[in-house]
Amino acid sequence: MWGKSLAAALLGLPFATAWVGLAALLWPGSLAVNTLPWLLLAFPVWIGAMAFAFVCRSGLRAWLWLGGLTALGFVLVYVVKMLGWTELTP
């Protein structure tokens, strides 16, 4: 139970930050206008990520799944910014 709890506490917020940030980057329109509504969605995603840790069979699986999905989210944010896909929208 400690492994799941630590995975939820330490990886929940970075997971939500990565995936909500990716959605905000890919959403059409100006980032200055669209950022606040996406930030309001971060809290429910964070709670969902923490709940997902307790669905996993073990603490190791929770760390691997949440850690892998968090890393994937940040890699995708980096790729989107590197390729300049955010500049395609007016």
pLDDT beneath 70, residues of the chain = 86-90
The domain ranges of the chain are 2-84
What pLDDT does 56 receive? 93
What pLDDT does 14 receive? 96
Please give the structure tokens belonging to residue 45. Answer: 């995603």
Number of continuous H segments (helices) and E segments (strands) in the chain: 3, 0
Q: What is the Rg, in whole angstroms, of the alpha carbon atoms belonging to the chain?
A: 14
Q: What angle do CA 16, 78, 27 make, to 5 degrees?
A: 65
Q: CB atoms < 10 A from the CB of 82, how many?
A: 8
What pLDDT does 88 receive? 55
Please give the structure tokens belonging to residue 24. Answer: 């905000």
